[in-house]
Amino acid sequence: AQILRDRIDKDGKVLNDRVLKVDSFLNHQVDPHLIMSLGQAFADHFKDRQVTKVLTLEASGIHIAFATALRLDIPFVFAKKRPASTQQGSGVYTAEVESFTRGQTCSITVSKDYITSEDRILIIDDFLAAGNAALGLISVVRQANAEIVGVGIAVEKSFQTGRKRLEDEGIEVLSLARLKSMDPATGVEYVKE
Ligand code: 5GP
């Protein structure tokens, strides 16, 4: 999406060759008009695929999943990183996810009530780097014997391994901005599509 690439060019900060800071518009302060455009783009792409639910991971996927689900007119579910006491044990699906930005591993959980074998799931997240967050969500969907329709990502760092790992699982990935490289001195280059 041109609108996202333009915004990255204007307000994104390349911290180093691996981390792009977008917290003035995407994942700390949030531009709701931009997020609605991203939701519309995901909805336009996946609208004929009988998606029943959007799934994301708290916290920075929630607003993008919300916008997508609103446009598809279906619910969204966010996996929790710190299960509430009401949410432990046999009532949840769990996966371990290594955090790209924090370097720690955390468990993510989704209540069995909210994904079932009837569901066709669109996974949404803000970034795709090594693919661990998306693969954790994929694991949850598979535990529920639900179908994965695809993965929608706002910013894909195409020089990292995430896309290949998802495609190796047979999963379609739609990324709205695909970064070929990043450099703190010269900025971001995009994959030509
Ligand atoms: P992965 O699990 O694919 O390695 O990384 C994806 C997760 O790490 C995303 O949910 C996102 O929150 C975070 N992340 C990965 N790369 C970046 C980045 O360059 N900038 C920011 N702000 N977050 C990132």
The tokens for 138 are 């994929």
Say what percent of the chain tops pLDDT 90.
92
Mean pLDDT score, 95-118? 94
Is the CB of 101 inside a 6 Å radius of any atom of ligand 1? yes
2-190: CATH class: alpha beta
Protein residue with least CA distance to atom 20, ligand 1: 20
- The domain spans of the chain are 2-190
* pLDDT at 88 (0 to 100): 66
Residue 84's pLDDT band (cuts 50, 70, 90):
low
Residue 177's pLDDT band (cuts 50, 70, 90):
very high
ipTM over 0.85: yes
E strands, 15-119, in order: 20-21, 53-57, 76-79, 92-98, 105-111
The tokens for 29 are 């302060």
Report the residue among 101, 108, 124 best suited for mutation to probe ligand 1: largest number of ligand atoms under 8 A from its CB: 101
